[in-house]
Amino acid sequence: MKPTATRAASVGDSSERLGQLLSRCSLGDQAAFSELYEATSAKLFGISLRILRREAWAEEALQEAYVKMWRHAGSYNPGRGRPMTWMINVVRNQSLDLLRRADYRVAEDEWSAEKDQRTSADNPAAQAETSEEMQQVLGCLGNLGEEQRDCILLSYHQGLTPTEVAHRLKRPVGTVKTWIRRGLIKLRECLEKKGVGQ
């Protein structure tokens, strides 16, 4: 399943419409699922790509995320947040799960934003990543201590293992694991306060 650019400009589709489509998906409406995918896949692919930095992995994460959305569409609760926020959370979690797999490694030269037209400044999907949710995530990261922030970015953005992060920062592995764990707890608490991913 490849992300579609045919309706990239539709990432601004109303929350009400996306909510209706999710509701229909929960009833097994495949046409609604197809429409939901067309309206949101470009933006969600961009978010996954930012995390994974590798197109093949981002496409895999996106496919698995949409399978989860299809199966669990009924769990979306309009009272806890916007449909797109819920979908971003599913994609983000799936992308992070992929990062945690032992066989995942990112070579720095395998992907760059300059080489990928889907992340260029004139692409609506790329512009969507400067949305309120992304700014809130960046704001929460900025609230972390320098060590915690560095560990999380090296681990989740560059795909390094705790051992590799420890080597890079010249710190004990146990200390790095503690920083990552505590940093993720603080990050989650901050995002929950801002209503991101709810």
Greatest CA span in the chain, whole angstroms?
Answer: 53
pLDDT for res 169: 85
Q: Which fold has domain 131-198?
A: Arc Repressor Mutant, subunit A (1.10.10)
- Residue 83 burial (10 A CB sphere; 0-12, 13-18, 19+): buried
pLDDT in tens, 103-126: 444 443 344 444 444 444 444 444
pLDDT for res 67: 93
Give the C-alpha separation, 147 to 145, whole Å.
6
Give the C-alpha separation, 153 to 113, whole Å.
17
What are the boundaries of each domain within the chain?
1-103+110-127, 131-198
pLDDT for res 23: 93
Rounded to an integer, what is the distance from CA 142 to the centroid of its chain? 18
pLDDT for res 64: 92
Contact call for residues 180 and 99 (beta carbons, < 8 A) = no
pLDDT for res 138: 73
Contact call for residues 99 and 52 (beta carbons, < 8 A) = yes
Domain 1-103+110-127 maps to which CATH number in 1.10.3720.10, 3.20.20.80, 1.10.1740.10, 3.50.50.60?
1.10.1740.10
pLDDT for res 17: 92
With a cut of 70, list the residues of the chain below it in pLDDT.
Answer: 1-13, 100-134, 157-158, 195-198
| Domains 1-103+110-127 and 131-198 belong to one CATH topology | no
pLDDT for res 18: 93
pLDDT for res 51: 80
Query: What is residue 172's DSSP assignment?
Result: -
Token digits of residue 133: 């949710």
Contact call for residues 159 and 104 (beta carbons, < 8 A) = yes
Contact call for residues 58 and 103 (beta carbons, < 8 A) = no
